[in-house]
Amino acid sequence: MMRTFLVAVMVCAVLGSGLVAHAQGVGGEAQAGKPTPVAVVPFELYHNRVYLAVSVNGSKPYEMILDTGAAETFVNEEVADVLKLPRRGKATVNGNGEGTGRFALTKDVNFGVGAASLLEKTVVIYDYTDFEKHEGRKVDGTLGVNFFHRYVVEIDYENKKVMVYEPETFRYTGPGTKVPLRILNGGTLALFDTEITPKSGAEAIKARLAVDSGTYSALRLFRPFVAKHGLIEEGNEQFESVGFGAGGEFQQVTGYVDELSIAGSKMRKAVADFSTDRKGVTATQAFDGTIGGEILRRFTVTLDYSRSEMWLEPNGAFGQAFVTDASGERRSKQ
């Protein structure tokens, strides 16, 4: 059987290395006014991505990326071999680059995050070789969007822990701001409305962005939106850069926007990647772009897909300046 998945899994080509802490998920106590979480799990924040300890069919913990932008859950081929996961069918994976790849599928796999569990009917057995080469570390898999449909997920970037709640009993009681979401494309996209002021003195532009926790970047804007609003300008602190994703490399220009406003939270001089590619995800007209980990890490983020809402609480990193490497050597984010 042949299936096609649209995947927002990309690779940061900034090389680095990180020690993995294989920490088991632990139960948590309820905060005032909050229900008791199913699980409270520490995570490692690496290249602005959340790496969680996840068991696969009751295995030892593996380090997996928690990714709202992944339409399916992925398991590294090496992990699949160790666990003897049966191959059942093939999938074509389309990513941000122009190429595609065919990968094996496996069925009915249980993923455990602390005491929380998710049975995935279909899982992609993925070759992370190129991803790991650019990421600079081992990647055991990617826990995709179905986890966010099964649970309410709170990501406390400042304290590096994830709280997992049952949707039926969860009610948000914190000081954050609600951001309405539109859950589209069979549940694989969570879009919200925002305003972007491209440069000082310019009028704000409305944009439809997706929440992509698996992306390193701050703001990524897709080619049709970039072309429509003339966002690439010489002499505007911009330089050419190259991204790398599931479909290979893709071309872009990196710079800043003067202001990004999300439900009243205003971020000045946010780094932005302006796509110049004509194929792949970053060339789509279906929505205008994404926000990734470089923005999300400035908040405690609560994602409640059951109620189509996201809650954002600014943390101690909110006021930090956005920084980019203007040398042109940076091979951009995810």
pLDDT for 51-87, tens place per residue? 999 999 999 999 999 999 999 999 999 999 999 999 9
What is the chain's mean pLDDT, rounded? 86
Place of tokens 């000045």: 268
Count: domains in the chain: 2
Q: Does residue 78 sit in the same domain as residue 194? A: no
Is residue 30 in a domain? yes
Report if residue 323 sits inside a domain: no
Q: What is the DSSP letter of 13?
A: -
What's 90's domain CATH number?
2.40.70.10
Q: Quick count: other Cβ atoms within 10 Å of Cβ 210? A: 27
Give which of 4, 10, 2, 23 is closest to 293, Cα–Cα.
10
- Pick the range with the lowest mean pLDDT from 195-204, 208-217, 226-235: 226-235
* Residue 333: band (very low, low, confident or very high) from pLDDT cuts 50, 70, 90: very low
Domain that holds residue 150: 2-165
Q: Are residues 10 and 146 in the same domain?
A: yes
* Report field, pTM of the whole predicted structure over 0.85: yes
pLDDT over 70 (residue 175) = yes
Query: What's the pLDDT at 245?
Result: 59
User: Is 253 a domain residue?
Assistant: yes
Residue 212: name the closest of 294, 134, 101 by CA.
Answer: 294
* pLDDT tens readout for residues 3-24: 434 444 333 322 222 222 223 3
Residue 65: partners with Cβ closer than 8 Å, 6 or more residues away: 9, 49, 50, 51, 52, 139, 141, 142, 143, 214
Based on the domain organization, do 149 and 187 belong to the same domain? no
Question: For 86-98, what is the mean pLDDT?
Answer: 78
At 277, the pLDDT band (50, 70, 90 cuts) reads confident
Whether residue 150 is found in the same domain as residue 13: yes
% residues pLDDT > 90 (the chain): 72
Say yes or no: 141 and 228 in one domain: no
For the cut 60, the answer to whether the pLDDT of residue 130 exceeds it is: yes
Give Cα separations from 53 to 1, 12, 90, 269 (angstroms).
Answer: 31, 21, 27, 34
Mean pLDDT of 225-235: 91
